[in-house]
Structure 1
Amino acid sequence: MKKRVVVGLSGGVDSSVAAALLKEQGYDVIGLFMRNWDSTTNNDILGNPTIDDDICPQEIDYQDAEKVANKLGVPIFRVDFIKEYWDNVFTYFLDEYKKGRTPNPDILCNKYIKFDAFIEHAKQFNPDYIAMGHYARVEHGDHPKLLRGIDNNKDQTYFLSQLTEKQLSHTLFPVGELTKQEVRDIAHKYDLATKDKKDSTGICFIGERDFNRFLANYLPSQSGNMITEDGDVLNTHQGLMYYTIGQRKGLGIGGSNQYDNKPWFVIGKNLETNDLIIGQGFHHPVLYSDSCIVEDVNLINLKRFEGPLYCTAKFRYRQQDHPVTIEFNDDDTLQVTFEQDIRAITPGQAAVFYDGEVCLGGGFIKAAYKNGQKRQY
């Protein structure tokens, strides 16, 4: 009897090829398209009107997913996770920006939607596995391990770092063993409707919209001063939530007689005074930290350990691995010490840990430090 797998068909080339490969391998494949954001109206989930007329291209994505399913001869179903997405992802997204932090909602989307709500919905089909088009691998066994994708440039374990062993035990990542070019080649081999479709970028609920304009629909912005470390006011900002540590673009500061023409960067935020702190030079010393605290820790196939653990870490997607030492604090946060100072460690972003090819899990950056002093990020 064929094993059954429910595939998350997103309307992109990666999930399309995942379904094709599983079908080729003899699985009984069912496609499931997730609708996570209400893109049919200009209202949010609470019925509040927004000021932006653009919508996410979800309807086009569903049509593409349907074409792929029909081509492969697999049934496809559509499910709405709009409320779940709002409750577990978008509310978090807004709350983080209220705190002046820079969130990563894709990680929460994987944790609560694609590998939680999706799995619960898929149970009605009695599957042996669920599958997604992520560039990652799972080593199944008594204690499943999450491994990096073969294509280092596309590896997505950073976004999967909050998954649990239980979630991984029933998950397949068919394209994890392939490069992006090999995925494209297979899509052409099967003549799939998505074979030349451009990869999606950004967050679905923002899409191609102007980010600041979108965010203003939900959070009132409060302008303030853009100041140097010495307190000189050089410009005004539109709201601290619109800026991230290490940012250069959008500051609107030109040269002046008082300062040379080195570029300016965001080097800190003062939430109490609503000041955005800026400094000159990509390698401004205030941008560098030697340690950080990580909260909401999720470890995969690794129990709470005693003493220091040496591994590598990524603090942004596609960032190079940095050698670090991690150790649990009494409050279950992680103390992460860097072998060398690292630039722009940003509260709200994910810290993800690795032992070679194995992703050990991760958490979210609470604060960054230099010589024991908390950075004003």
Structure 2
Amino acid sequence: MSRPDVVVGVSGGVDSSVAALLLVQQGLDVAGLFMQNWADDGSGHCRAEDDRRDAVAVCGRLGIPFHFRDFSAEYWQGVFEHFLAEYAAGRTPNPDVLCNREVKFKHFLDAARELGAGRIATGHYARVEQSGGRWRLLRGADRGKDQSYFLHQLGQVQLAATMFPIGHLEKSQLRRIARESGLPTHAKKDSTGICFIGERDFRQFLGQYLPAREGEIRDPHGQPIGRHPGVFYFTLGQREGLNIGGVRGRPAAPWYVVGKDVAANILYVDQGHDSPWLQSSRLRSEAMHWIAGGAPAATFTCTAQTRYRQPDEPCRVSVGDDGTVQVQFERPQRAVTPGQSLVLYDGPECLGGAVIAATDAALEQRAPWPVSLERQA
């Protein structure tokens, strides 16, 4: 069997299908590889087998070899155990970021090299280019689909070996190409949510691994409002699932999660989507990963995202000696959540990112902020 030029991660979705098609049309020797990252738990919610059949059909249509690898053990150790530990600590993790770093651009890349390929390709909406002797990760052309936020943990070694064939396309263009080319996935719906949960109830799923411990819901001033089934089921800014009825002396307005005290098992809520208790102007990160290998400067301005599909937010960044960063936003941000990812950008270029450790939101019980990040006049 000949060695392929590039191995495409075929997921059974339309994005990776078109990625493979475009590489074939470029005249490259292409092979497809399907990754199973979650073992079927018998719930009936795992669609891996359906996706695998679709991936096989796409490879058959394109006339390229199909390969399969089971990375479920690696996913459990590298992604899922961290996911559970973060929720148990009351934080809200982002498993897609770890999946890309630990599985898709690590074990998948190793598997592709074992097959003799020099490069891998995926159906991510992002772009990669070489400039000035280094590799740059750029946003996808379709800003509404851009996935560079989830790829910010990649480095020079991974980017040098990676192709994003659909990064220059709008989603509508991609669907048209898939349809006109007769790809069997051309009308398949995009997958949403966390892959290993599927369509099932999130609280029910998490309860299999983290036993529920009922506790008190209070307002920010400590007044009892209701009861909750477990603080780790909720995230900042969340409205659904609180089951707070009419509260005497309070207006008939929605309640939102504004804070969590994991040690005391207390969930804090307030009324109003833009409650002042949800606002923060500063954050501190864990150790940053810089795509270029280092920070652009000790202090610099750029834009940031603290959640996926968030508009660019101007900010000032100060890099600490310990590798963490302190970020001061130009305007207050809503529901910046520890455990989620801070990702920094210079125009379309993704500079890197890190896990959010703490913010200056009113209910945060964290270490004091350094004088250098006091609000500027």
Q: Name the TM tier (shorter chain).
A: over 0.9
Match of 2:364 in 1: 375
| Amino acid of the structure 2 residue aligned with 1:211 | F
Does 1:119 find its partner at 2:120? no
Q: Report if aligned partners of 2:78, 2:102 keep a CA contact under 8 Å in 1.
A: yes
- Partner residue of 1:4? 5
Q: Which of 59, 63, 86 is 2:53 aligned to?
A: 63
CA distance in 2, matches of 1:374, 1:301: 35
Residue 345 (structure 2) aligns with? 354
Structure 1 residue matching 2:167: 3-state secondary structure = helix
* Residues 36, 85 of structure 1: 8 Å contact kept: yes
| TM alignment of 1:214-233, pairs within 5 A | 214-233=205-224
Question: Could you tell me how far apart the structure 2 residues matched to 1:224 and 1:169 are?
Answer: 50
User: Which residue in 1 is equivalent to 2:260?
Assistant: 269
CA deviation vs aligned residue, 1:132-173 (integer Å, no higher than 9, x gap):
000000013531000000000000000000111110011000
- 2:34 aligned with 1:33, yes or no? yes
CA–CA distance in 1 between the matches of 2:188 and 2:4?
30
1:296 Cα deviation (Å)? 3.2
Amino acid paired to 1:240: V
In the alignment, the residues of structure 2 paired with residue 267 and residue 130 of structure 1 have an alpha-carbon distance, to the nearest angstrom, of 42
SS at match of 1:65: helix
Shift of 1:345: 0.5
Instruction: Output the amino acid matched with 1:73.
Output: G
Alignment match of 1:76 (pick from 59, 66, 78): 66
Residue type at the aligned position of 1:90? F
CA contact (8 A) 1:292 1:369 kept: yes
Amino acid paired to 1:70: G
Conserved? CA contact 1:2–1:27, under 8 Å: no
In structure 2, what is the equivalent of residue 279 of structure 1? 270
Distance apart, 1:295 and its partner CA: 0.9
Does residue 96 of structure 1 match 2:97? no
Q: Which residue of 2 aligns with 1:138?
A: 128
Alignment of 1:200 with 2:191, yes or no, is: yes
Q: Secondary structure at the match of 1:140?
A: strand
1:174 is the counterpart of 2:132: no
SS where residue 248 of structure 1 aligns? coil
Higher mean alpha-carbon deviation, 217-226 vs 16-25, is at 217-226
| 8 Å contact from structure 1 (residues 302, 360) kept in 2 | no
Q: Per-residue CA shift, 1:177-230, capped at 9, x if unaligned?
A: 000011101111111110000000011110001101111111111110001122
Quote the Cα distance in structure 2 between the aligned partners of 1:106 and 1:24.
30
Corresponding position: 1:259 with 2:260: no
SS of residue in 1 equivalent to 2:287: strand
Report SS of the residue matched to 1:257: coil
1:293 paired to 2:284? yes
CA distance in 2 between partners of 1:235 and 1:127 (Å): 58
Is the contact between residue 4 and residue 31 of structure 2 (CA under 8 Å) also seen in structure 1?
Answer: no
Q: Tell me how far 1:2 sits from its aligned partner.
A: 9.8
Amino-acid identity (%): 48
* Farther-moved stretch of structure 1 (312-321 vs 302-311): 302-311
Displacement of 1:253 after TM fit? 1.2
Does 2:141 match 1:150?
Answer: yes
Distance in structure 2 (CA, Å) of the matches to 1:286 and 1:305 = 33
AA in 1 matched with 2:350:
C
SS at match of 1:293: strand
Return the alpha-carbon distance in structure 2 between the equivalents of residues 63 and 305 of structure 1.
45
**Contact kept in structure 2, 1:269 and 1:376, CA below 8 Å:** no
In the alignment, is the contact (CA less than 8 A) between 2:112 and 2:119 conserved in 1?
no
In 2, the alpha carbon distance for the partners of 1:158 and 1:295 equals 17
Distance 1:127 1:215 in 2: 38
Q: Could you tell me which amino acid in structure 2 is paired with residue 103 of structure 1? A: P
Structure-2 separation of matches of 1:376 and 1:190: 56
Residue 129 of structure 1: CA displacement? 1.2
Question: 2:25 — aligned with what?
Answer: 24
Offset, 1:283 = 1.3
The question of whether the paired residues in 2 share the 8 Å contact of 1:263 and 1:281 is answered with yes
SS class of match (2:213) = coil
CA distance in 2, matches of 1:286, 1:99: 21
| SS of the residue 1:296 aligns to | coil
Question: d(CA) in 1 for partners of 2:24 and 2:338?
Answer: 42
Q: Name the aligned partner's letter for residue 37 of structure 1.
A: W
- Cα gap change, 1:306/1:353 in structure 2, threshold over 3 Å: closer, same or farther? closer
Greater Cα shift, 233-242 or 305-314 = 305-314
Q: State the Cα distance separating 1:266 from its structure 2 match.
A: 0.5
Whole-angstrom distance in 2 between the partners of 1:374 and 1:251: 19
Shift of 1:97: 0.3
Q: Distance in 1 between matches of 2:284 and 2:150?
A: 19
Please list every run of 5 or more consecutive structure 1 residues that lacks an aligned counterpart in the other structure.
43-52
